[in-house]
Amino acid sequence: MPAEASYKVYGIQEALAEINKVDRTLRRQITKDIQRGAGTRLVTAARSFIPTATPLSRMGNGNMIKGRDGTGWSRARVIAGIRSVVGKRGSRARTVTFSNGRTADFKATQYQLLVLQQRDVAGAIWDHAGIRGGGQFVTNLIAEGEHVGPRTAPRALEPAAMSVLPAVEDEVDKIVQRVMTIVNRNLVTTRTR
């Protein structure tokens, strides 16, 4: 379930590329400013949605993925796994042919200025379990345990992002204004809700 609200800045990737050609340290400083301001705000909000107790009693006992070590629930690992990424590159649409003759089509993705990610496996499973329906595991997650945010998926990242969205938009807007004055070019911003 993707977020209902979005904040798009058209031309930001090209503007940052122009700044990078002229002054790499300035480009890095802009990235750090986005990370320290809006990125830190997003990560702090997402970490506040993580429950203090194990969501289900057996999640902390063993691995959530059979045969894969390190996939058990650990609140410290789940909290450490939440991070923001500035400047996630887009990709072109492409078709890959495998050695067995099968092909796979990959859609194009856009450049993303700021992304909130969960890198821990158990945290990602807990956050997204039941997003497309569910079974007994999802039913138990909804019925039992401590719930800081919503009981249904997504449980942490999207609700946290939506809770601080106005503040994040303001922070990013200030930086975009700064980039526009540096590059001396207007960038188009749109907000949808």
| pTM more than 0.75 | yes
The residues spanned by each domain of the chain are 6-192
Distance (Å) of CA 155 to CA 16, 107, 131: 33, 27, 10
Mean pLDDT of the chain, nearest integer: 84
Q: Cα–Cα distance between 47 and 139 in angstroms, integer?
A: 23
pLDDT value of residue 149: 78
pLDDT value of residue 104: 92
Instruction: List, in order, residues 6 or more apart from 27 with CB less than 8 Å away.
Output: 16, 19, 20
Q: pLDDT, tens digit, for every residue of 18-55?
A: 888 888 898 899 889 999 999 999 999 999 999 888 88
Q: Report residues of the chain scoring pLDDT below 70.
A: 1-7, 185-193
